[in-house]
Structure 1
Amino acid sequence: MNPYNSAEKKFNFLAEFQSCRCIIRRAMEDPFGKEHINTFKKLLQTNVAAAAAQIKAYLKEQDNIPLNIAITGESGSGKSTFVNAFRGLDLKDQSDAAAPTGSVETTMEVKSYPHPNFPNVTLWDLPGIGITNFPAAKYLEYVGFERFDFFIIISADRFTENDMKLALEIQKMEKKFYFVRSKIDQNMWAEEQTQSEFNAEKTLSIIKESCVDGLLKLKIESPQVFLVSCFDLHLYDFHLLTKTLERELPAHKRDALLLSLPSVNCEMISEKKEALKAKIKYLASLSALTAAVPVPGLSVAVDVAILVKASLKYKKTFGLDSMSMENLALKSCVLLTDLRAVMTSRLSLDVINKELIIHLLLLSGVLVALIASEEVSRLIPLLGIPAAAAISFIFSYKALKDFLNMLAEDAQTVFTKALGLNSSV
C-alpha cells in the first residue's frame, strides 16, 4: 500500500521530519549565508524537494562566484609569469592555457586566463600602460576596469610615474590595488654576490623600504608593497599578499580566492581545509533529504555521487591532482615518485570514482549505515523517515569530514617533502 494514499495521510507528513529538520537547522548556522539559511528553513516546513533543490542551487552558486583579478605594470615586469604562477602552472608551460612570457612585452591586448581548476577565478593579463600611449584614466577605460575586483601592479625594479598615475586613478574609482615587486629572487642573488656579509632579512627590508619610499614620494598614501618570486612563491611575501587579499575582499569572494591559490605553506592548506569543511553541512543535508524519499537505492546512489564530487574538489583544491603534482615536482626538483611515496590515502593515490568511494565506505562501515537508513525508511515509511534522514546526515557528514582530513594530511606531507617546513623568509 502506498503510504501517501492511505488513511495515514491524515497525519501531517512533514511533521514527521521534525527531528531531521532540527538536525539540518543546527548544522546550517552560517553567519555569511543567513538569507539562504532562512530560505532553506522555510522550504523545509513546506516542500522537502524544493529545499533540496535550493541547497543544490546555493552550492552551485558558491562554486561559481566570479573573481576577476587584473595584473598590470610596465613592459617586461613579469606580469605573464605572475599570472601563470598564481594559477599553479609550470612556468615552462607553452600551451594555450599559459600566458606567453618573454624578456620583452608580450601582452599587447587584454587577455583572460581562467584558473585551470576553478574557472570562476580569472586573471587578466593587461598590456603595460607604457605601450598603450593612453593616460591612466583612458587606460582603465580601455581595459574595462569595472569588471575587476582588484588590481595588482607589478614592477621588476622601481615603480614608475605611470604606475603611480594608474594607482591614483584606480583609487578614485574606489577599487583596491596592490604593488608587487617581482623577480625578487634575482635581486637577492645579485645582492649576495656583491656583499661580503650578506643578510637576507636586512636586504629584503631595505628593498621594501626603498619601494615604499618611492611610492610615497609619488603621492601614494599607505602603499602596500609585496616582494615576490614567481619561481618560489613559498618564499618572501606571496603569503602576505594572499592574506591581505583575503582580509580585504568582500566575504562572499574570499573562498573563491582561497581555494584557487597555490598551496605555498602549511597554514594555507589548513585554511583551505576549514573553508571546505564549512560546506560539508550542506552536502550532508542533501543526503538527509534524499534519505527521506522511500525509493530503494536512491539515497546511497546520491550519497556516493556527492562523495565522489566532493573528493575530486578537495583533491584539486589541495593540489593533489596529477597536473598540480607534476608541476610541484618540477618546481621543487623532487621526483614525482618521491612526492607520491609520502601520501597515505587512497583518495590521493588512486583515481577517484564511485567504485573507490564505495570500497572506502565499506571499509569504514559507513555504507552499511546508509543502507540501513534506507531500510528503516522503506519498512516504516512515515515514522522511519526522520530516523533515516538523521542517520544519513550523520554518516554522510562523517564520511565527508574523514575524506577531507585524509586529503589535507596528504597535502601537508607532500608540501613538507617538496619545500620543507621553513616556507617563508
Structure 2
Amino acid sequence: MEDPLGKEYIDTFKELLQTNVPAATAKIKAYLEEQDNIPLNIAITGECGSGKSTFVNAFRGLDKKDKSDAAAPTGVVETTMEVNPYPHPNFPNVTLWDLPGIGTTNVPAAEYLEHVGFERFDFFIIISADRFRENDGKLALEIQKMKKKFYFVRSKIDHNMRDEEETQSEFNAEKTLSIIRENCVDGLLKHKIESPQVFLVSSFHLHLYDFHLLTNTLEKELPEHKRDTLLLAMPNVHCEIICKKKEALKAKIKYLASLSALTAAVPAPGLSVAVDIAILVKATNKYKHTFGLDSKSMENLALKSGVPLTDLRAVTTSNLSAGVINKKVIMKLLVVSGFQVASLAAEEVSRFIPLLGIPVAAALSFTCTYKALEDCLNMLAEDAERVFKKALGSNSSG
C-alpha cells in the first residue's frame, strides 16, 4: 500500500475533502449497501426423490438433522409440490428455490418454466439421483430457449461409489466416477442436449467429487457483478473457497477505510474514533458469518461433520472467533496493536494542525482502519481454514 503520509496521498485527500464530504460519504455507503444486497436466485429442480431439498440444505450449510423452519423438508417421497424459496441464513439476498419435479406437476415441459416463474432465476440446477430422463432433457431445452444457464448435477454419488466398491473385486474410484459421468453425458446427448455439463455430487460430502468444479463453473459463467454474491454464500468445502472469500472481502476494505477517512475530516473530537470502531464491529461480524464461524454455522458444521462443537472451537486462535464481536472486543484488539492506538491518537492531535491537519488526520484514519480490518480478516480466514480441516478429518473417507 502507498505511504499514507506521503505528499501525493495527502494531496489526494485534500482534493477529496475540497469537493463534498457528505456526498462522497453517501456515495460510498450506497455502493457498499448495493454490493451487499445484489440478489441471486438459484433454481433447483429434478424428478421426485432426486435429492433437491437435501442439496438446497447442504448449499446453505444446513444439516439434515436441522429441524428449524430454515431447512427445506426432505424425505423419500416427493416433498416439493410448489415453488419454495429458501434464503441463505447468513446472506438473505441469496435464495435457493426448491421447484417441484417436472414429472409431478401435470404441466408440460413447454409450460413448466412459466408455471414456476423462470424469469426470476439466475440459473437452473437440474438434479437426478441416477440417470437423466426425458423430462430433464425437455426442461433443459426449454431453459435454453429462454436464454438461461443450466447445469446437471448427479446426486447421491456417494451411494453409488459405496455400492460399486462392495461389488467390484478391483474397485477404482476415478474409473468408476468417469464411467458414471460418461453415461450421464451420453444419455443427455441422446436427448439432444449440446455439450451437457454434468457434475457428480454428494450433498452429505460436498468437499468430495465435483462440487468444487460446479462452483468454479458457476463463478466463471455468472455476470461479474454477481460472482462475489455467490462466492460469499458458498459453504466452506475447500480451502480455495476460503481464500477466494478472503480476497473478495479484502477488495472492499478500501471503501470502508475511505469512510473512516472522510469522517476524520469532520472537526468533532472523538467522532472519527467512534465511527472507526463501528465500522470495525460491523465488518468483522460480516467476516465471521462469511467464513461460517458464527455460532449457528458452527453448530450446523458440528452436526454435518460429526466433530463435537467444542473440538471445532478449540482449533480457533482469534478472540474474534470465540464469541460476540462488539465495541469492547474491538477496543481490546486495538490496544494489543500499538500501531493502531498510536495512529488514533495522532489522528486526533493532527486534526487541529492548521492547513495540513485535516488531510493528515484523514490519511491516518484511512491507514489505521485499513490495517485493522486487514488484520481481522486474516485472523478469521486462518481460523476458518483450521475449522474446515478439523471438520474434514472425520469426513475424508466419504
**Residues 313-365 of structure 1 deviation map (CA, whole Å, 9 limit, x = unaligned):** 11111111111111111222211111111111111113210100011011102
> Post-superposition shift, 1:381?
5.4
Which of 172, 176, 180 is matched with 1:199 structurally? 172
User: Does 1:163 pair with 2:136?
Assistant: yes
What residue number does 1:337 align with? Answer: 310
Match of 2:20 in 1: 47
Code of the residue aligned with 1:368 in structure 2: it is A
Residues 296-335 of structure 1 aligned to structure 2 (within 5 Å):
296-335=269-308
- d(CA) in 2 for partners of 1:397, 1:197: 56
SS of residue in 2 equivalent to 1:412: helix
1:353-368, aligned counterparts within 5 Å? 353-365=326-338, 366-368=340-342
- Quote the residue 1:179 is aligned against: 152
Whichever residue aligns with residue 375 of structure 1, its letter is V
Q: Is the 8 A contact 2:288 2:294 kept in 1?
A: yes
Worse-matched range after superposition: 107-116 or 334-343: 334-343
Q: Distance in 1 between matches of 2:379 and 2:13?
A: 25
Contact 2:65 / 2:303 at 8 angstroms: preserved in 1? no
How far 1:375 sits from its partner (Å)?
A: 2.3
Matched with 1:7 is: none
CA contact (8 A) 1:376 1:388 kept: yes
Distance 1:423 1:390, change over 3 A: farther
| Structure 2 counterpart of 1:288 | 261
The AA in structure 1 aligned to 2:157 is I
Cross-structure match for 1:372:
346
Q: Which runs of 4+ in 1 moved over 6 A?
A: 421-425
Query: CA offsets per residue over residues 177-219 of structure 1, 9 Å max, x none?
Result: 0000011111111111111111111111110111001001111
Q: What is the Cα deviation at residue 376 of structure 1?
A: 1.3
Is contact 2:205-2:395 (8 Å) kept? Answer: no
| Residues 264, 423 of structure 1: 8 Å contact kept | no
Deviations 1:128-152, CA, capped at 9 Å, x for gaps: 1101111112110010000000000
Match status 1:264 vs 2:254: no
Cα distance between partner residues in 2 of 1:394 and 1:422: 42
1:402 to 375, 381, 396: 375
Q: Which residue of 2 aligns with 1:241?
A: 214
| TM-score, with structure 1 as normaliser | 0.89
| Contact in 2 for aligned 1:181/1:227 (Cα 8 Å) | yes
Identity %: 78
Structure 2 matches for 1:218-233, cutoff 5 A? Answer: 218-233=191-206
Structure 2 CA distance for aligned equivalents of residues 213 and 402 of structure 1: 50
Equivalent of 1:22, from 12, 21, 42?
A: 12
| SS at 1:124 equivalent | strand
Unmatched 5+ residue regions in structure 1?
1-16, 25-40
Aligned-partner residue type, residue 343 of structure 2 = A
- Residue 46 of structure 1 aligns to a residue whose secondary structure is coil
Which amino acid letter does the alignment assign opposite residue 369 of structure 1?
S
For the residue of structure 2 that corresponds to 1:123, the secondary structure is strand
Query: Counterpart in 2 of 1:110?
Result: 83
* Matched length: 391
SS of equivalent to 1:252: helix
Matching residue of 2:99:
126
Letter paired with 1:370? L
CA distance in 2, matches of 1:367, 1:159: 61
Q: Give the aligned residue type for 1:123.
A: L
Deviation, 1:374, is 2.0
The whole-number CA distance in structure 2 between the counterparts of 1:421 and 1:375 is 54
Task: After superposition, give the CA deviation of every residue in 1:55-79 in whole Å (9 maximum; x if it has no partner).
Answer: 0010000000000000000011111
For 1:137 and 1:238, the matched residues in 2 are separated by 29
1:418–1:79: structure 2 CA closer, same or farther, 3 Å change rule? Answer: same
Structure 2 regions of 5+ residues with no counterpart? 1-6
Deviation at 1:48, TM superposition (A): 1.1
| 1:383 to partner: Cα distance | 2.5
User: Is 1:418 aligned with 2:395?
Assistant: no
Q: CA deviation at 1:398?
A: 0.4
The 3 A distance-change label for structure 1 pair 424 and 216 is farther
Structure 1: which amino acid aligns with 2:376? F
| 2:181/2:200 contact within 8 Å kept | yes
Contact preservation (8 Å) 1:21, 1:44:
no
Report the RMSD for the aligned CA atoms in angstroms.
1.9
Distance 2:395 2:196 in 1: 28
